[in-house]
A = this chain, B = another copy of it.
Amino acid sequence: MEFGKTIVLKNQPKIIGHYSIVGPKEGKGNFGEFFDYVMKNDCFGENTFEKAERKMLEAAIMGVVQKAKMTIKNVDVMVAGDLLNQIISSSYAARAFEIPFLGVYGACSTMAESMAVASVLVDGGYCRNVLCCTGSHFSTAERQYRFPLELGNQRPPTSQWTVTGAGSCILSLEGKGPRVTSVTFGKVVDWGVNDVNNMGAAMAPAARNTMLSHFRNTNTSPKDYDLILTGDLGKLGSEILVDLMDEEGVSLGLNYNDCGQMYFKREQNTLCGGSGAGCCATVFNSYIMKKFEKGEYKKVLFLPTGALLSTTSSQQGDTVPGVCHAIVIEN
């Protein structure tokens, strides 16, 4: 196996603000009390789900700027992306604010990619404050990637539930907050899964590759972290990852968990759990950051994962490649 590329950040950018906004179902899930804002309904006052998704991202941008006690003019660049074709939620949200924009795409790993790029921009002294943002919406993702909701299709047991929500954070060398100390850019890994309703199995090999790369490149092991948190492998995918790591002699214990697996309550019927770019983005920018602020975490390895398919690639018989980037946050 070839390894991912790890970058150690000398100046250690701080996460000086974080914000999360979610839909009503997400608000009733396991992290309900930690989110900054829970929408009353999935439409958020808009007449299409796509416009609601965009508005969530705009709210996440405004929200994090306020929480970081700055104005939008203090933001040098926004690094953002989402799951919709041509990442329109992010670019139209960027249009609403007068800030330079770098669009990124890593499917559900987008939060990690935006934080990794932002970390480098801040660490190198190229920018002062960089805003990271991503999100997803259950109803836009279902109709773009799978079926119109009106069809009422049955969901297979390996499927996950796209989180309706957006998360954002601001990285800076000034101010206070947990520090980003290293990032590992992962490579695209494809072990031949072609079931588009089993994203966990498709992404687990990428998580394995990036995790092994990160441990090797930084000379660390699972016991060095208070928490090792993958993005949205879900219940099946995270079990596969534990097995795969076991085969490599790396035992993931009680300090390992997965945002998708943790997101919803059992009675919410999401089958394998949460997914979507908004899944790990809202967990990280609420629950995880609040635990850091309380001093409960000293060092967290955050590994959002993404499945890089499109409906066209599936229709043309391609299997599903995955990618995973790793971020280390320390207090």
B-contacting residues of A (Cβ < 8 Å)? 1-2, 4-5, 7, 48, 50-51, 73, 76-77, 81, 84-88, 91-92, 94-95, 98-107, 113, 116-117, 120-121, 123-124, 126-127, 144, 185-190, 308-313, 316, 318, 321, 323
Contact = CB atoms under 8 A, between A and B. Distances in A.
Shortest beta-carbon contacts, A-B, top 8: A2-B98, A124-B124, A100-B185, A91-B308, A86-B310, A103-B105, A95-B188, A94-B188
A311 B88 CA distance: 10
A319 B186 CA distance: 36
B126 A310 contact: no
Contact of A85 (B98, B187, B310): B310
Given A92-B318, A101-B323, 12 more contacts: A2-B73, A5-B127, A50-B313, A50-B316, A84-B312, A95-B188, A102-B116, A102-B117, A103-B105, A120-B120, A124-B124, A124-B126
A105 B308 CA distance: 14
Contacts of A100: 4-5, 185-187
A37 to B, nearest CB: 24
A94 B190 CA distance: 11
B86 A107 contact: yes
Contacts of A113: 102-103
Contact of A86 (B4, B73, B105, B190): B105
A310 B310 CA distance: 15
Nearest to A87: B105
Given A5-B76, A120-B126, A185 B101 contact: yes
A50 to B, nearest CB: 6
16 contacts: A5-B77, A5-B100, A86-B309, A88-B309, A91-B308, A92-B313, A94-B188, A99-B187, A100-B186, A101-B323, A103-B308, A103-B323, A105-B105, A120-B120, A123-B124, A124-B126
A215 B127 CA distance: 19
Nearest to A83: B86
A302 to B, nearest CB: 17
A301 B4 CA distance: 33
Contacts of A7: 126-127
A321 B102 contact: no
B102 A103 contact: no
Given A88-B309, A316-B48, A102 B101 contact: no
